[in-house]
């Protein structure tokens, strides 16, 4: 596994291409209709964390170790809204950002990778302070300041929490605790299901100069 200093090198590389910060207001998770039916019928309306797959960097300490729920927060540049296309299914759960990310949450950098394409993914972990996910990450991942990092920020402005995400990276946000569907809104998207963009068990391009580091043996 990558040590913290290796992840810090990856973080520095990711910061170089992060781009400017855009405001957003919701985290969202796309899945198939059957997934949400299962959550409602068999899980008490609660999405449960699952074990992270082996997507991304070969040395990521989260792969096969960290339990969490994947969320997105990227917005379309022209609308400020989540995109209408998704590789993961036509049903989208949206939750107000403050439900998952607030001053009682710790934020960690977990990975930076691409899949033989021009765009890059940054994996972040949101863990409520003192939770088991937080304790796992504290030992293994670089912690980010929630108000000043280059990827995902939560700041108090004029008395309210304001959220921003990096424009030029695709953020994959892992939330380490269960999430009740009653905290958000479930609906169907109007766009396409772009299977080619799925990152499930995605393998990192080992030749990319932008997102690889040399790890001495």
pLDDT per residue as tens digits for the range 25-39: 999 999 999 999 999
Q: Which residues contact 167 (CB under 8 A, 6 or more apart)?
A: 18, 19, 20, 21, 22, 77
pLDDT at 168: 94
Give the residue numbers spanning the domain of 185. Answer: 4-197
Exposure letters 26-64 (e unless 16+ CB within 10 A, then b): bbbbbbeeebbeebeeeeeeebebeebeebbbebbbbbe
User: Is 174 within the bounds of a domain?
Assistant: yes
**Burial status of residue 18 (CB atoms within 10 A of its CB: 0-12, 13-18, 19 or more):** buried
> pLDDT, tens digit, for every residue of 170-179?
999 999 999 9
User: Is 175 within the bounds of a domain?
Assistant: yes
User: Is 210 within the bounds of a domain?
Assistant: no
User: Is 23 within the bounds of a domain?
Assistant: yes
What are the per-10-residue average pLDDT scores of the chain (217 residues)? 92 96 96 95 97 90 95 89 87 97 98 90 97 97 98 96 96 98 95 66 88 75
Q: How much of the chain exceeds pLDDT 90, in percent?
A: 78
Strand partners, 215: none
- What pTM, to 2 d.p., does this model score? 0.94
Domains in the chain, number: 1
Cβ atoms of 151 and 109 closer than 8 Å: yes
Residue 171 tokens read as 């953020």
pLDDT at 217: 40
User: Is 91 within the bounds of a domain?
Assistant: yes
């Amino acid at each position: 596994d990558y040590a913290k200093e290796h992840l810090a090198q990856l973080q520095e590389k990711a910061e170089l291409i992060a781009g400017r910060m855009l405001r957003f207001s919701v985290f969202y998770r796309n899945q198939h209709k059957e997934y949400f039916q299962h959550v409602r019928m068999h899980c008490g309306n609660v999405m449960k964390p699952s074990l992270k797959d082996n997507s991304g960097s070969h040395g990521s300490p989260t792969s096969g170790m960290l339990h969490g729920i994947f969320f997105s927060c990227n917005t379309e540049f022209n609308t400020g809204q989540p995109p209408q296309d998704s590789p993961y299914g036509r049903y989208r759960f949206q939750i107000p950002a403050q439900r998952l990310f607030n001053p009682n949450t710790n934020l960690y950098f977990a990975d930076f990778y691409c899949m033989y394409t021009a765009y890059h993914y940054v994996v972040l972990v949101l863990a409520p302070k003192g939770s088991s996910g937080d304790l796992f990450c504290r030992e293994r991942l670089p912690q980010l300041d929630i108000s000043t990092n280059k990827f995902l920020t939560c700041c108090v402005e004029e008395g309210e929490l304001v959220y921003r995400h990096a424009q030029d990276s695709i953020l994959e946000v892992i939330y380490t605790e269960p999430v009740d569907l009653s905290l958000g809104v479930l609906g169907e998207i109007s766009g396409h299901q772009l299977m080619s963009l799925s990152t499930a068990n995605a393998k990192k391009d080992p030749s990319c100069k932008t997102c690889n580091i040399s790890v001495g043996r």
